[in-house]
Amino acid sequence: MAILMGDVDPCLLGENTLKWIHCDHAGLNGSARPEVFARGIPVTGAAGRSAPVLAEHCIYFMMQGCYHTKELLRAQENCTWGVDGMNTWRGLYGRTVGIVGMGNNGRMLADRLHAFGMNIVAYDKFPIKGYDYISQKYCADAGDIIQPLLEQSDFVVLTLALTDETYHMINKDTLAQMKDGAFLVNMARGGIVCTEDLIEALKSGKLSGAGLDVFEEQPLSPESPLWKMEQVYITPHSTPQVPDRAARSVEIIRENARRFEAGEPLLNRMRPEDAMNGEKSQGGWARMMNTNVPKEKIDFQSLEKYLGKRGWTDPSEWM
């Protein structure tokens, strides 16, 4: 068995006795390459280990939109009591949220937003089992389309995987289907949203705002208009840690070790649908692991080139 910090490196695909590879991160698009599938080694990931805090991150963005944080902070700095139009602002209670993707993150988010008293509708590729408090459940495999969710949601939250099917799922057409004044949250992958179409929807006022943790190109270019938009809230693909993140990773590995020995299906196993055409799926780790840099030189590569500036100084912070 090999446990990797990043994606599957080509050096692991030669002659060896490996029976299982685990990548200690969530998205496996960067490893879902023909040569990896051809090798026949099961590859698993760490999806779900940070789901509680990722759900909080979604709510953080939603609350920013409700409370117009930028305006209130400016008012505080100017010692101004109140903001024009604040009597029209509305909180989360009683409003409708559409969760697109009911995996680990989507389920954690649904539980928390139910406690907020929100009306929840959800869309997933597969049937959504349980969660009786969700008022409407849409299933792509059953022939459902996403349009009904978009038309009724005050907030649309993306917590789904990036695949060829979901690439640019949010585009000019689907943005037009969204409720006027809706707020978009992307905690999934940047490629799910067409950046150009999103910017136009924000400029036109079709969307009231957006909370974005991921982007098609990372780091986000300083030239991007998203940085300067009043109604856009940005975080640099970074979420606060869960207190037991390492332990949760170990628990996934431990459970998969048991399943491997018992011949049972592995958790978070890479599937053919994780594969994508071209380089649109490759995040920072995938680009770094597939640079064809000789192993003796890899120590001299700048992580910032691939992952963006993170302010890391201690290697223990990489975990």
Q: In what order do the strands lie in the sheet with 2-4?
A: 2-4, 21-23, 43-44
Dihedral (Cα; 148, 152, 155, 158), 10-degree rounding? 0
User: How many helices (DSSP H) and strands (DSSP E) are in the chain?
Assistant: 10, 10
Output the tens digit of pLDDT for each of the chain's 319 residues: 999 989 999 999 988 999 999 999 888 988 999 999 999 999 999 988 889 999 999 999 999 999 999 999 999 999 999 999 999 999 999 999 999 999 999 999 999 999 999 999 999 999 999 999 999 999 999 999 999 999 999 999 999 999 899 999 999 999 999 999 999 999 999 999 999 999 999 999 999 999 999 999 999 999 999 999 999 999 999 988 888 878 888 999 999 999 999 999 999 999 998 888 765 544 444 444 444 444 445 444 444 544 445 454 444 444 4
Q: What's the confidence (pLDDT) of residue 278?
A: 60
What distance, in Å, lies between the first and last C-alpha atoms of the chain? 19
Alpha carbons 92 and 222: distance in angstroms, whole number: 32
Predicted pLDDT at 300: 44
Q: What is the pLDDT of residue 247?
A: 86
Spell out the residues 6+ positions from residue 311 whose beta carbon is closer than 8 angstroms to its own: none
What local confidence, expressed as pLDDT, does residue 291 receive?
A: 45
**What is the pTM assigned to this prediction?**
0.82
Q: Using CA atoms, how far apart are residues 311 and 318, in angstroms rounded to an integer?
A: 11
